[in-house]
Amino acid sequence: MAEPKQSTSWIPLESNPQVMNTYTNKLGVTSKWAFTDVWGLDEELLQFIPRPVLAVVLLFPITEKYEDHRRSEEAQIKERGQTVSKNVYFIRQTIGNACGTIGLLHALANNVENFELGDGPLKRILDETLPKSPDDRAKVLEGSNELAAVHEESSQAGQTAAPSRDQDVDLHFICFVRKDGHLYELDGRKPFPINHGPSDDVLKDSVKIVQQFMGRDPDNLNFTVIALAPAQD
């Protein structure tokens, strides 16, 4: 399956927990959970992240080395197969620069049982898309003026000037979640979720995969890790 064709482009979302938390509220989610920065991947710094962590969002550079790995990984999975839980909610990304929103939706939709979900864009999107395929879910997102408006507002709320919606951005958001005892990598550019094996700690096990991302491009510093964890008073 080829990378999905992008029908339109949005303004990229900033990797900023405050922006993400405001965005989440605008989607109709009220909860005792919040996105927070992960300042380092060593065990001492990870201890500062409140537990349990529900999801990890990674912003990373799309480089030639990464693209080589992505194509190889996809080919290997198609050849040998993998088990993916039917409870994993996955969306293909067909909107340019919408990876931030797709990452948030993956984090929230796969943990919806932990939130108070009011009448808002997220509830309406989930009600319409739960029975659909990842590609058909993408079509619903393409047609959601409500979601586009929330994304547009959030993309202007960061600490840095928002780039043009037509700008070619080489940074990409993905999400890691735990479902039915396994860690899944959810990337709308890929044709399917990636099952990274058994997991009992989303943060600890996601960090192992993030370190592999960094190891493929050791001279690149453009990596940001954000956790969805209990909110601090």
Cα separation, 114 vs 32, whole angstroms: 9
State the catalytic residue, choosing from 69, 106, 151, 172.
172
Cα separation, 206 vs 192, whole angstroms: 18
Alpha helix (H) residue ranges in 38-168: 43-46, 64-80, 99-109, 121-129, 134-142, 145-155
Known catalytic residue at 172? yes
Q: Which residues contact 147 (CB under 8 A, 6 or more apart)?
A: 101, 121, 125, 141
Cα separation, 28 vs 122, whole angstroms: 6
Cα separation, 106 vs 125, whole angstroms: 12
What residues act catalytically? 99, 172
